[in-house]
Amino acid sequence: MGNPTGFLKVERALPEDRHPKERLIDWLEVHEHMPEEGIKEQASRCMDCGVPFCQSGESQYAPVVAGCPVNNVIPEWNDLVYNGRWKEAVQLLHKTNNFPEFTGRVCPAPCEGSCVLGINADPVTIKHHEYAIIERAFEEGWVVAEPPARRTGKTVAVIGSGPAGLAAAAQLNKAGHMVTVYERADRIGGLLMYGIPNMKLQKEIVQRRVDILAEEGIVFVTNTEVGKDISTDDLKANFDSVVIATGATVPRDLPAEGRQLNGIHFAMEFLGKNTKSLLDSNHADGEYIDAKDKNVVVIGGGDTGTDCVGTSLRHGCKSVIQLEIMPEPEAQRADNNPWPQWPKVKLVDYGQQEAVAVQGDDPRDYQMMTKHIEGDDSGNVKAVHTVGIEWQKTDDGRMVPVEIAGTEKVYPADIVLLAMGFMGPEGGLLDALGVEKDARSNAKAEYDNFATNVPGVFAAGDARRGQSLIVWAIDEGRRAAREVDSFLMGKSYLP
Ligand code: FAD
């Protein structure tokens, strides 16, 4: 450990994001790099704890203590960064995380929420170090294709090309199997490509990694929906094993009067079309839902809601409001929980910052439940009618939302975006494969072996776990790959 007293002398610091008004006129990432000397200084704050909770992943104490799901060896690479040993740092980082360029940008960093320094001071800027290590590695040309030395003759089909599918494919390819990834969209990446918008993750960053994976020998087949364009029987007949990594794509709907009106869209339609049109033609094709000069109401918080706010503002919307119902108080962080960042209640993210810069205040209105949506004579949405709620305990101990009389509010709306989360994977494919579902309609498979009830068919990522995070998808893809490898070879040397 290079600087044992760094944590006593150096305060947490991060580079300022680009100013909201500057970044609203483009679709580039909002974050800035920190100069090398600054990063080294920040890395010196790591205390190299005897028990590094930051890298611990899920633990019996979760969610209070839940560090990095992929078990990044954070104190070790913090020290390498402090000492300027960047090449060794990236080698170590790649041992546990196939795609640090994604998590270094958009992970909510449970590692920082678990940083022991965070009990008495601000946590170490771990996420930014991860970002700095991998970007330095790409700049230096250290990240190159490393095809396996020999092939096993076994074949694996991965359905879905999000972070879970890509991580599984990368690991299985490393083990020497021939991997084909099927993706129904026209570009590879799942929500990395068509969910998370450019200002959080520029798409050339995704493509840069996909190109390396292709060079390593993974075959990518786009515009191909398994179960429709290629039958599940063909898949099972032509491959020795199958990994389901299709994500949790069924959106939660709003059962409110007026739902059928024109101008009400699921968030993913709005975000996905926006990115595709941007990539295809810089929006010249007009094949997206344009919020310019419109009043936008986003129903739902979380990453998806925030991304809708940021996207609407970049279109030049007239106004944007985000309605968010916070969880019942008992599900929020307890007052005596010393861990500073878990869970992130009422987090101000980039979209809210931008709304403040444009509109003068936070776009969010809390605890407002949608009662009905009003339309005009042409069947277009006109306004969202809401009422305030509070959580109350029923006689049998359940917390339920109860309307508060006199708190009714009406929001003018030309576009309503539904960002209320996802219910699970689409059932058709699982049925066609004969895969059992769990109580939440996800593919049924245990976390530690990822095997479904169908021999040779495995499931990973949001399709198994329900809507989650990129880092969990990478973790599941990696672990599922090890199980597939064992199934095919009788044992596995994959981590
Ligand atoms: P996905 O990324 O959903 O990929 C599944 C892929 O499977 C899709 O491309 C789909 O087209 C394809 N597919 C489905 N069915 C078939 C079929 N039958 N045949 C072929 N292909 C098929 N997480 C974070 O950590 N940080 C964030 O900032 C963040 N922001 C988010 C913003 C939004 C708008 C959303 C929706 C999610 C966000 N998440 C974020 C969550 C994260 O993106 C997901 O948890 C993660 O992408 C799940 O990975 P996955 O590989 O399991 O599935």
**Digit-coded pLDDT (tens) for 265-323:** 999 999 999 999 999 999 999 999 999 999 999 999 888 999 999 999 999 999 999 99
Q: Tell me whether 0.90 is exceeded by the ipTM.
A: yes
* Residue 162 pLDDT exceeds 50: yes
Position with higher pLDDT, 114 vs 262: 262
**CA of 18 relative to ligand 1 center, distance in Å:** 27
pLDDT of residue 273: 98
In a domain, 174, yes or no: yes
Q: Which domain holds residue 48?
A: 6-140
Q: Positive or negative CA dihedral for 483, 486, 489, 490?
A: negative
> Quick one: 403 and 431 in the same domain?
no
The tens digit of pLDDT for each residue in 212-225 reads 999 999 999 999 99
Overall average pLDDT of the 430-439 stretch: 96
Q: Is 100 in the pocket of ligand 1 (CB under 6 A)?
A: no
pLDDT of residue 330: 53
Give the Cα separation of 167 and 174 in Å (integer): 11
pLDDT-derived band at 174 (thresholds 50, 70, 90) equals very high
Closest of 372, 378, 441, 377 to residue 409, by C-alpha? 372
Q: Is 304 in the pocket of ligand 1 (CB under 6 A)?
A: yes
pLDDT of residue 336: 47
Average pLDDT, the chain: 93
pLDDT of residue 134: 98
> Quick one: 311 and 243 in the same domain?
no
Q: What CATH code is carried by the domain that includes residue 283?
A: 3.50.50.60
**CA of 107 relative to ligand 1 center, distance in Å:** 14
Position with higher pLDDT, 64 vs 47: 47
Position with higher pLDDT, 328 vs 478: 478
DSSP 328-374: PGGGS--TT---TTSS-TT---HHHHHHHHHHSS--EEESEEEEEEE
| Domain total of the chain | 3
Residue % of the chain over a pLDDT of 90: 84
Token digits for 286? 């007009």
Closest of 337, 309, 307 to residue 321, by C-alpha? 309
pLDDT of residue 463: 97
pLDDT-derived band at 391 (thresholds 50, 70, 90) equals confident
Give the Cα separation of 39 and 42 in Å (integer): 5
Q: Which of residues 420, 449, 473 is at a domain's end?
A: 420
Question: Residue 448 gets which letter from DSSP?
Answer: T
pTM for this structure? 0.95
* Contact criterion met (CB below 8 Å) for 20 and 31: no
In a domain, 1, yes or no: no
Overall average pLDDT of the 361-369 stretch: 90
Mutational pocket test of ligand 1: of 130, 166, 470, 474, the residue with most ligand atoms within 8 Å of the beta carbon: 470
Q: Which of residues 402, 420, 438 is at a domain's end?
A: 420
* Contact criterion met (CB below 8 Å) for 67 and 114: yes
| 64-68, 146-150, 242-246: least confidently modelled range | 64-68
Q: How many CB atoms lie within 10 A of CB 261?
A: 18
Give the Cα separation of 156 and 19 in Å (integer): 46
* Contact criterion met (CB below 8 Å) for 213 and 170: yes
Mutational pocket test of ligand 1: of 158, 199, 246, 435, the residue with most ligand atoms within 8 Å of the beta carbon: 246
* Contact criterion met (CB below 8 Å) for 104 and 131: yes
> Quick one: 114 and 193 in the same domain?
no
Token digits for 248? 């949790």
